[in-house]
Amino acid sequence: MLSHAMENYLKVIYEILEQEDRATTSLIAGSMGIAAASVTAMVKKLAGMRLIRYAPYQGVQLTPAGEKTALEVVRHHRLLETYLSEALGVPWDRVHEEADRLEHVLSEDLEDRIAAALGDPNVDPHGSPIPSRDGIIRRTSTRRVTSVGVGETVTVAEVADRDSRLLQFLGDLRLFPGTTVEVLAVDPYQGPLLLRAGGREFTLGAAAAEKIRVVSPSSGKE
Amino acid sequence: MLSHAMENYLKVIYEILEQEDRATTSLIAGSMGIAAASVTAMVKKLAGMRLIRYAPYQGVQLTPAGEKTALEVVRHHRLLETYLSEALGVPWDRVHEEADRLEHVLSEDLEDRIAAALGDPNVDPHGSPIPSRDGIIRRTSTRRVTSVGVGETVTVAEVADRDSRLLQFLGDLRLFPGTTVEVLAVDPYQGPLLLRAGGREFTLGAAAAEKIRVVSPSSGKE
DNA sequence: GTTGTTTTTTAGGCGCCCCTAAAACAATAT
DNA sequence: ATATTGTTTTAGGGGCGCCTAAAAAACAAC
């Protein structure tokens, strides 16, 4: 049986591998807020259980078994985020921390009931895809809003960040997944973007803009 | 800060003290399914934190601070049971185990949202009272169904047991809190009861009957 | 290619919470 | 009053998951 800590490591490793091609000790430690030495120890244990592949100094990869488990945890997490947001009105900048604690104590039965109550959603409040029960995750090809040309109109697809302050800020601007935005101007050298959304115009700094992924409008992702 | 284990001890001690006047080491150990020696160690720690009063060989009592915390955990537990039952349709014989895991990771914010979504209930699916946010618990005076006279009609108030099999059995008979039952006959020497409820007649063994507490009909407890 | 810096690993340790086995105590029966 | 029985406590131990400090490996710069 897997401990909560182990489940969490697998989830973190999965999320790192979504962006980087190697999940290194320090990335894992950084993401979890623990010491690198602790990660080394756990990573060995998980490798012994054939959930990850690990060669010293090389970072880790998920095995198929490890990825399966990671996807189950991610499903729990993202379903919970969606449920908390939709059913209980928890603001989107706080669902992450709540789900982090709940995800490890959610039974399969409850998972099914929550999914059913939501109508089997496939994206969470941040626009991240929710893996299906059998571990299939529907990826949409998105691009950063920073790569959008001036004058183009796009739809926010995903804001994949756990920083509550950023989410609160974007929430105040109504920049949720599904929102349509027009890029009015881009300042040179990673400068801020001038956007129009919901009839209002505002600028967005590079740091915030980097977290926002978009799709061309009416491109499927609701 | 309190660990999950400590919270759980306080809850268990509280629940024992609802029925017995001393929470002994073996009662605590029995209720939690752990060794008595483990209880002794923890009980010392909790006594050091002034959450319980403990004298060796004498069992434990909750201090005001300990009772306050215990009531918070009990509130979490019973609110969750109610929510799982009402909002997600979890059968009443399974809400207990789910709530046991969730209760320790429920934030105050979520607690409030769940309570509000339910309209601030004051009984859980088993008829047990839910402490208010400020730790006030509304006790109703109930009596065992075994003490009801033949011919009397009463309302089920509480089925305070965590045994899933018993609850499932009673659920099949529709013997939920709120159900009206008429005692048709009582066999002598702790014999089974013959009951009528919901237009059907059936017998109930002494073991099951002992767990059921009732009130006179229309006596407040909805 | 040697030096300095950063990352990772090893070594040793700690708190938590559980265990078993044996000793101490309490309650009860004789 | 003592012996028996049952309960509780002490003693010692183990796994888990984290830590710090120091050693080792990898990486980068000159």
pLDDT digits (tens, 9 = 90+) for B20-54: 999 999 999 999 999 999 999 999 999 999 999 99
Residue B218: pLDDT band (50, 70, 90) is low
Q: Is the CB of B34 under 7 A from strand C?
A: yes
Q: So what's the pLDDT on residue B46?
A: 98
Crossing angle for the helix pair A25-32 and A36-48, to the nearest 10 degrees: 110
Q: So what's the pLDDT on residue B13?
A: 98
The larger pLDDT score, comparing residue A151 to residue B8, is at B8
Amino acid at A71: L
Antiparallel, parallel or unpaired: β A180-186 and B52-54 = unpaired
Residue B102 to residue A107, Cβ atoms within 8 A: no
Residue A94 to residue B109, Cβ atoms within 8 A: yes
Q: So what's the pLDDT on residue B161?
A: 84
Give chain B positions within 8 Å (CB) of A87: 87, 117
Q: So what's the pLDDT on residue A106?
A: 98
Q: Is B141 left (phi over 0), alpha (psi -120 to 50) or beta?
A: beta
DSSP track, A133-188: TTS-------EEGGGPPTT-EEEEEEE----HHHHHHHHHTT--TT-EEEEEEE-T
H or E stretch at A41: helix A36-48
pLDDT cut 90: percent of chain B above it: 83
Give chain A positions within 8 Å (CB) of B98: 107, 109-110
Segment A30-34 shows an average pLDDT of 97
Q: Does B101 touch chain A (CB under 8 A)?
A: yes
Average model confidence (pLDDT) across chain A? 93
Q: So what's the pLDDT on residue B207?
A: 85
CA angle B53, B57, B58 (to 5 degrees): 45
H or E stretch at A52: strand A52-54
Residue A118: pLDDT band (50, 70, 90) is very high
Q: Which one of A94, A104, A106, A110 makes the best mutation probe of the B interface by having the most chain B beta carbons within 10 Å?
A: A110
Segment A142-163 shows an average pLDDT of 90
- Spatial separation of the C-alpha atoms in residues A218 and B178, rounded to whole Å: 52
- Spatial separation of the C-alpha atoms in residues B25 and B31, rounded to whole Å: 10
Tell me the CA distances in angstroms from A131 to A89, A142, B118, one per residue in order: 23, 17, 30
- Spatial separation of the C-alpha atoms in residues A145 and B152, rounded to whole Å: 73
Nearest by CB to B105, which of A88, A105, A109? A105
Q: Does B105 touch chain A (CB under 8 A)?
A: yes
Q: Is the CB of B44 under 7 A from strand C?
A: no
Does pLDDT of B219 surpass 80?
A: no
Average model confidence (pLDDT) across chain B? 94
Q: So what's the pLDDT on residue B222?
A: 44
Which residue minimizes Cα–C1' distance to D8?
A: B57
pLDDT in tens, B84-111: 999 999 999 999 999 999 999 999 999 9
With beta carbons less than 8 A apart as the criterion, state whether B82 and B56 touch.
Answer: no
Segment A19-27 shows an average pLDDT of 95
Could you list the protein residues whose CB lies below 7 A from any atom in strand D?
Answer: A 3-6, 32-35, 37-38, 41-42, 45, 56-57; B 24-27, 36-37, 39-41, 43-44, 54, 56-59
Q: Does B94 touch chain A (CB under 8 A)?
A: yes
Nucleotides of C under 7 A from a protein CB: 7-12, 16-22, 25-26
Interface of A with B in 108-147 (CB under 8 A): 109-110, 113-114, 117
Cα dihedral A76, A77, A83, A86 sign: negative
The larger pLDDT score, comparing residue A78 to residue B1, is at A78
The whole-angstrom distance between A102's CA and the closest CA on chain B is 6
Segment B58-68 shows an average pLDDT of 98
H or E stretch at A197: strand A193-197
Most confident among A156-160, B66-70, B195-199 (mean pLDDT) = B66-70
Q: Is the CB of B48 under 7 A from strand C?
A: no
H or E stretch at A102: helix A95-102
Nucleotide D22 C1' to residue A179 CA (A): 53
Give chain A positions within 8 Å (CB) of B102: 102, 105
Going by the DSSP 8-state scheme, the letter that residue A132 receives in this structure is P
Q: Is the CB of B22 under 7 A from strand C?
A: no
Does pLDDT of A219 surpass 50?
A: yes
Structure tokens belonging to residue A183:
């890029």
The whole-angstrom distance between B81's CA and the closest CA on chain A is 12
Does pLDDT of B160 surpass 90?
A: no
Q: So what's the pLDDT on residue B53?
A: 98
Q: So what's the pLDDT on residue B217?
A: 80
The whole-angstrom distance between B102's CA and the closest CA on chain A is 6
Q: Does B91 touch chain A (CB under 8 A)?
A: no
Amino acid at A104: H
Crossing angle for the helix pair A4-17 and A36-48, to the nearest 10 degrees: 100
- Spatial separation of the C-alpha atoms in residues A215 and A142, rounded to whole Å: 5
Antiparallel, parallel or unpaired: β B52-54 and B60-62 = antiparallel
- Spatial separation of the C-alpha atoms in residues B179 and A29, rounded to whole Å: 55
Residue of B nearest to A111 (CA): B88
Q: Does A101 touch chain B (CB under 8 A)?
A: yes
Q: Is the CB of B37 under 7 A from strand C?
A: yes
pLDDT in tens, B122-156: 999 999 999 999 999 998 889 999 889 898 999 99
- Spatial separation of the C-alpha atoms in residues B217 and B152, rounded to whole Å: 10
Of A26, A13, A133, A123, the C-alpha closest to A63 is A13
Does pLDDT of B191 surpass 90?
A: no
